[in-house]
Structure 1
């Protein structure tokens, strides 16, 4: 009693547009699949696209490498001139505070009962010397910021 085993149905590479649209299992018969034939639908297959890797010519790659080199050189020259910018800020009367380690800034706002909701203030008016000191510290921290390769800001310790 030898039973004939039929091979499993071959998997079609690309389903017809109608089967894709209705998310049905297309058998891939051409010119018309069984489901489109049964439903009286127009059966069209999308053009087969090559799945091979795109080949970029050497000139294109060299051009990109040259651009990267130029940007790296610009970044290096900026980093070398950075201490001069800090000295310029010090001579302008701004105090640059040392940062002993990674700085963290607390973004939490004070509780609602501590805010001065009833006190109208003019725009640009500070809350006294404490606010001024905080602004100066923030300015000095911004001067020490460095942008890493991932384009995320980082505060360097001085």
Structure 2
């Protein structure tokens, strides 16, 4: 099976080929990208005719102050393009929490992250696209990224990526 991972630095740093050695795996993560930039790159990814496409995007949008409604609109546009232009199965992955003690920020907001995830889940149900809610596996009771899964409060360490891989496997997606 030909599998693509599309997203920002969180996707980019994943060792997806090592995690899923029995598949042909491509990593289309680009550090710092926002959802509109990922949309612009989408045609080149779709040209690769992947069987399965995993997508995570939106946290950099929040970092730039982009409103959740605009982020969801970009997800919607991406879903339509994938549905209309390929036979690829699309899997939308939730945004992950941020650890504000390690990554102090006035622009990231755990309530907005949870709101986007809720809107994403509804959009995926409406569009009949698979949604994987990774958030609970990474979140503390105070809605922060668990320290043992991050090295800076935003990005994941090896333990965090193993949790992500296990989430995808437990959903029987790979």
Normalising by structure 1, report the TM-score.
0.17
* Structure with greater contact order relative to length (CA < 8 Å, sep ≥ 6): 2
Largest Rg, 1 or 2: 1
Normalising by structure 2, report the TM-score.
0.16
More helix by share: 2
More strand by share: 2
